[in-house]
């Protein structure tokens, strides 16, 4: 008797950890009841390194549509304006980010009675830790700016909500921070002309929260294209991938061409070997580290031509401005600055000096990163673990730049 041929399993590999979170299952059922179709059979899984992410049991090809969301399932300014008008003081003007954040607080307070209950329940209860709460020296200026922006937003929104409503909806700094971060890390861009404007809006209504779509994780190698289109008489938000993904692998989308500092500060993660990563320097750092013959005329030339910003080194070499600053500072003939810099025809004498000075700059940064890492390690604070990992990565990344480009970084 011949052996019975076994059917090939269509399940995900056994080693995969499939997420059976009831809040996600209920979210999907609610979306299906409201017209959503999971055409790519997307499933939520746990992946090493990134945590929760989306995958499919079949190969995704370039130009495939990843997901199509009915527009009425998205939280836009048009969704929230009627609900919030009653709790805002007359004459209030808030940004769409602030209004979406306030809406999340408002709906969270409703608990079981909110029409957005299943989406609210799918969001993490804890606020993701972002380093602008507790940043190192390298991140301090940006972190302080982001923290100040948040606190100004909180104070403005609190002052805009009617006093009798504040306690009723449980509005405080912690709940607003949770909502503010949810919007900052999950909102997608929409065409403001399709949403409509209102008298309480300070800017364009170009942000929206999109259930389930916000489960996709970012990768710099991914490329996606989002459109709002009419499909069978219904407005939908459609996300198409320009990249291919093998079945069972994580499907990534692009949040934009972000370097790791941007990702860390705004989203709470970083990606090793990010092609958009750079080692930045301020103009004052370059002047302090490199012994340059910088006369008043040269200093004025650098400032007048706006070469003081975008000073960095990456795996691709020096930035245009850093190369120009070093040329002005290290070479003496001021008559040739324009012709050399703007034609990118640097003399061999200058090129031969560059590895030495780039080495000095990179060593300077390496020492700073190492000191910051040692300082954080001594605190043993759990909330510093992510920044510690980031600093270790930065030290390695800087070493990679030196190994690859210090000899021929300007060729």
pLDDT at residue 382, as a whole number: 62
Distance of alpha carbon 294 from alpha carbon 286, whole angstroms? 12
What is the Cα–Cα distance from 22 to 30, expressed in whole angstroms? 12
Supply the pTM of this predicted model: 0.85
Alpha-carbon span 58 to 60, nearest angstrom: 6
- Place 133 in a pLDDT band, splitting at 50, 70 and 90: low
Nearest-angstrom CA–CA distance, 247 and 290:
51
- Which comes out higher in pLDDT, residue 383 or 177? 177
Please report, for residues 41, 58, 67, 247, 345, the alpha-carbon distance to residue 244 in angstroms, rounded to integers and kept in the order given: 16, 11, 15, 10, 40
307 secondary structure, DSSP code = T
Band (pLDDT 50/70/90 cuts) for residue 13 is very low
pLDDT > 90 fraction of the chain, expressed in percent and rounded: 54
> Cα angle vertex 200, ends 199, 205, to 5°?
90
pLDDT at 202 over 70: yes
pLDDT for 20 equals 59
Q: How far are the Cα atoms of 26, 286, 287, 303, 306 from residue 326, in angstroms, in the given order? A: 59, 9, 10, 13, 14
Query: Residues 267-285: pLDDT tens digits?
Result: 989 999 999 999 999 999 9
Extract the tokens encoding 347: 């003399």
Taking the C-alpha atoms of residue 77 and residue 196, their distance in angstroms, rounded to an integer, is 8
pLDDT at residue 14 is higher than 50: no
Looking at per-residue pLDDT, the higher value among 92 and 32 belongs to 32
Choose among 164, 122, 131, 163: nearest CA to 150: 131
SS (H, E, C) 218-286: ECCCCCEEEEEEEECCEEEEEEEECCCECCCCECEECCCCCCHHHHHHHHCCCCCCCCCCCEEECHHHH
Q: What is the pLDDT of residues 80-89, one digit of tens each?
A: 887 887 888 8
Region of 135 please: left (phi>0), alpha (psi -120 to 50) or beta. Answer: beta
So what's the pLDDT on residue 232?
81
Q: Which residues pair with 227 in a beta bridge?
A: 238
Q: Is the pLDDT of residue 173 over 80?
A: yes
| Domain at 72-267, CATH homologous superfamily | set domain protein methyltransferase, domain 1 (3.90.1410.10)
Predicted confidence (pLDDT) per residue in 226-277, tens digit: 998 888 888 999 999 999 999 999 999 999 999 999 999 889 899 999 999 9
Mean pLDDT of 355-362: 89
What number of H helices and E strands is found in the chain?
14, 13
Q: Is the pLDDT of residue 70 over 80?
A: yes
Q: What is the pLDDT of residues 91-104, one digit of tens each?
A: 889 999 999 999 99
Tens of pLDDT, residues 301-332: 999 999 999 999 998 889 999 999 999 998 86
* Domain boundary assignment for the chain: 72-267, 279-405
User: For residue 137, what pLDDT is reported?
Assistant: 59
Letter string b/e over residues 277-287, b meaning 16 or more CB atoms within 10 A of that residue's CB:
bbbbbebeebb
Task: Provide the mean pLDDT of the chain.
Answer: 86
Across 92-103, b (16+ Cβ under 10 Å) vs e yields bebbbbbbbbbb
Helix orientation angle between 260-267 and 137-160, rounded to the nearest 10 degrees = 40
Round to whole Å and give the CA distance between 355 and 323.
12
Closest CA to 237 of 203, 207, 204, 267: 207
Cβ contacts of 403 within 8 Å, gap of 6 or more: none
pLDDT at 152 over 50: yes
Burial of 129 (0-12, 13-18, 19+ CB in 10 A): middle
């Amino acid at each position: 008797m011949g052996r019975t041929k076994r059917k090939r399993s269509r399940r995900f590999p056994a080693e995969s950890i499939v997420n059976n979170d009831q809040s996600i299952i209920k979210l999907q059922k609610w979306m299906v009841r409201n017209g959503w179709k999971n055409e790519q059979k997307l499933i939520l899984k746990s992946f090493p390194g990134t945590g929760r992410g989306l995958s499919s049991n079949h190969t995704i090809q370039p130009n495939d549509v990843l997901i199509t969301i009915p527009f009425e399932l998205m939280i836009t300014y048009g969704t929230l304006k009627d609900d919030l008008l009653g709790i805002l003081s007359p004459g209030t003007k808030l940004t769409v980010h602030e209004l979406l954040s306030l809406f999340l607080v408002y709906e969270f307070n409703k608990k079981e009675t909110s029409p957005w209950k299943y989406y609210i329940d799918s969001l993490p209860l804890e606020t993701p830790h972002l380093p602008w709460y507790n940043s190192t020296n390298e991140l301090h200026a940006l972190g302080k700016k982001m923290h100040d922006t948040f606190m100004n937003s909180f104070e403005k929104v609190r002052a805009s909500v009617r006093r009798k409503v504040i306690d009723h909806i449980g509005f405080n700094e912690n709940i607003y921070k949770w909502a503010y971060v949810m919007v900052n890390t999950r909102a997608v861009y929409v065409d403001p002309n399709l949403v409509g404007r209102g008298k309480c809006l300070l800017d364009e209504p170009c942000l929206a929260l999109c259930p389930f779509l916000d489960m996709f994780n970012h990768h710099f190698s991914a490329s996606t294209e989002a459109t709002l289109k009419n499909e069978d008489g219904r407005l939908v938000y459609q996300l198409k991938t320009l990249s291919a993904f093998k079945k069972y692998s994580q499907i990534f989308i692009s949040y934009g061409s972000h370097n790791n500092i941007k990702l860390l500060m705004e989203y709470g993660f970083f990606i090793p070997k990010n092609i958009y990563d750079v080692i930045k320097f301020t103009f004052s750092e370059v002047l302090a580290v490199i012994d340059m013959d910088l006369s008043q005329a040269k200093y004025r030339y650098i400032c007048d031509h706006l070469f003081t910003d975008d000073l960095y080194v990456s795996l691709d070499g020096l930035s245009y401005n850093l190369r120009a600053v070093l040329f002005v500072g290290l070479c003496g003939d001021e008559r040739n600055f324009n012709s050399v810099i703007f034609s990118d025809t640097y003399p061999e004498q200058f090129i031969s000096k560059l590895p030495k000075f780039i080495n000095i700059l990179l060593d300077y940064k390496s020492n700073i990163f190492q000191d910051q890492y040692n300082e954080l390690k001594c605190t043993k604070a759990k909330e510093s673990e992510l920044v510690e990992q980031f600093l270790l990565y930065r030290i390695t990344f800087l070493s990679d730049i030196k190994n690859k480009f210090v000899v021929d970084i300007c060729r």
